[in-house]
A and B are shown apart, each in its own frame.
Chain A
Amino acid sequence: MQASPLAHHFESLEKQAHAARLGMWLFLATEVLLFTALFAAYGVYRFLYPEGFAQSSRSIETWIGFVNTLVLVTSSFTVAMGLDAAVKGNGRRTALLFAASVGLALVFLGFKAIEYAHHFQEGQLPGRYYTFEGVQAPGASLYFSLYFLITGLHAIHVIIGMSALAIVGALAWRGRFTGEYHIPVELAGLYWHLVDLVWIFVFPLIYLI
């Protein structure tokens, strides 16, 4: 980034911000459809194997998903507050709030790791690796295939999102952004909110119903 954040092909900072925002939303739309493909697969197999899916869903620890939902929602809130601080030109505050979000993301991944370790011990694994005694209904291993695909892809997004937050937070700490120019703060925040949005649908589908 040069001394002036305004690229020469833009008339004003405001237009540049609008272009950046629109580009981010186009990207987020493709992300939504990426996850929708998995949700559609989940819908089809849940429709075909209602009993296997219901039993499998009951066999995993609901409280971990519940706590992780609270954690992610809260991290989204701290990201939003970080943007609020950036709008007011307070880069240090933005950096601290983004650091809190990254910390919450680590808590989320920690619970996920505990959960995955448990599934590996129990044999709640996809395909022919499925050896879980508790649920033997047809479709149970399909549930866990989709479980690992959906939560795994989401976890990758969490890692990408927390990296983006860490980088933007570090830049904010060094005073790279101002009240007028803070579009990277906003875009990193948008990505993080999308990660939260996807989890909001993952939680009931995987854990609750």
Chain B
Amino acid sequence: MAEQEPIARAEQELEHHAHAGRYALVWIALLVLTVTTYLAARAPLPGGWHVAVALVIATAKGSLVVLFFMHLWDQRGANRLVFATSLVFVALLVGLTLLDNATRFPLANPPGSAGALPAGGANREPAPEAPR
């Protein structure tokens, strides 16, 4: 308990320190990144790169918001652990779901979709009309 005291006080001082300058910098960075992602979406890039660039910029913006506006940068481990755990589940949910779809047997994909056989290409009756 006696050892924790100075740490807690230091943390409290850190939290109570004025953050106005830091907030302004983060805000400007967020505005710049928003304009960047808008322009990058218009730039001629090879296929697939638009998605990657947009997601990288979004992740950078999200990190700025979480670390500085939401103060995970200078908060206790427990809060960071909770947020990091939620990110693990985000990765599992999105990653495994996409992996499932990416490795499917073509006939398992709905008609009209990218991985499916062309309508009528299967050796029996043609596929029903694709949902629009």
Asked if A197 lies at the interface with its beta carbon under 8 angstroms from chain B, I say yes
The answer to whether B54 and A209 touch across the interface, beta carbons within 8 angstroms, is: yes
Q: CA–CA, A28 to B16, complex, Å?
A: 23
Asked if B132 lies at the interface with its beta carbon under 8 angstroms from chain A, I say yes
| Contact pattern, B 18-43, Cβ under 8 Å of A = 1, otherwise 0 | 11100110110011001001100100
Given contacts A25-B82, A33-B89, contact A208 B41 (CB under 8 A): yes
Find chain B residues with CB under 8 A from A69 CB: 34
Q: How many residues on chain B are close to A (CB under 8 Å)?
A: 56
Interface members, chain A 190-209 (any B CB < 8 Å) = 190, 193-194, 196-197, 200-201, 203-205, 208-209
What are 8 A-B interface contacts by the 8 Å CB criterion?
A26-B82, A33-B93, A77-B24, A81-B23, A83-B19, A136-B132, A140-B132, A208-B50
State the Cβ distance, B41 to closest chain A Cβ, in Å.
Answer: 4
Asked if B97 lies at the interface with its beta carbon under 8 angstroms from chain A, I say yes
Q: CA–CA, A14 to B24, complex, Å?
A: 27
Asked if B8 lies at the interface with its beta carbon under 8 angstroms from chain A, I say yes
Find chain A residues with CB under 8 A from B76 CB: 18
The answer to whether A84 and B20 touch across the interface, beta carbons within 8 angstroms, is: yes
Given contacts A29-B82, A209-B51, contact A200 B62 (CB under 8 A): yes
Find chain B residues with CB under 8 A from A14 CB: 8, 12
Q: Which of A81, A88, A200 has the most CB of B within 10 A?
A: A200
Find chain B residues with CB under 8 A from A200 CB: 58, 61-62, 65
Interface members, chain A 89-139 (any B CB < 8 Å) = 130, 136, 138-139
The answer to whether A43 and B82 touch across the interface, beta carbons within 8 angstroms, is: no
Asked if B73 lies at the interface with its beta carbon under 8 angstroms from chain A, I say no
Find chain A residues with CB under 8 A from B112 CB: 49, 138-139
Asked if A39 lies at the interface with its beta carbon under 8 angstroms from chain B, I say yes
B positions within 8 Å CB-CB of A: 8, 12, 15-16, 18-20, 23-24, 26-27, 30-31, 34, 37-38, 41, 50-51, 54-55, 57-58, 61-62, 65-66, 68-70, 75-76, 78-79, 82-83, 85-87, 89-90, 93-94, 97-98, 101-102, 109-110, 112-115, 130-132
> How big is the A interface, by class?
35 or more
Find chain B residues with CB under 8 A from A21 CB: 75, 79
A positions within 8 Å CB-CB of B: 14, 18, 21-22, 25-26, 28-30, 32-33, 36-37, 39-40, 43-44, 47-51, 62, 66, 69-70, 73-74, 76-77, 79-81, 83-84, 87-88, 130, 136, 138-142, 179, 189-190, 193-194, 196-197, 200-201, 203-205, 208-209
State the Cβ distance, B35 to closest chain A Cβ, in Å.
Answer: 8
Q: Which of A74, A84, A209 has the most CB of B within 10 A?
A: A209
The answer to whether A139 and B113 touch across the interface, beta carbons within 8 angstroms, is: yes
Find chain B residues with CB under 8 A from A50 CB: 114
Q: CA–CA, A201 to B59, complex, Å?
A: 8
Q: CA–CA, A50 to B18, complex, Å?
A: 47
The answer to whether A73 and B30 touch across the interface, beta carbons within 8 angstroms, is: yes
Q: CA–CA, A204 to B34, complex, Å?
A: 10
The answer to whether A87 and B94 touch across the interface, beta carbons within 8 angstroms, is: no
Q: CA–CA, A136 to B131, complex, Å?
A: 11
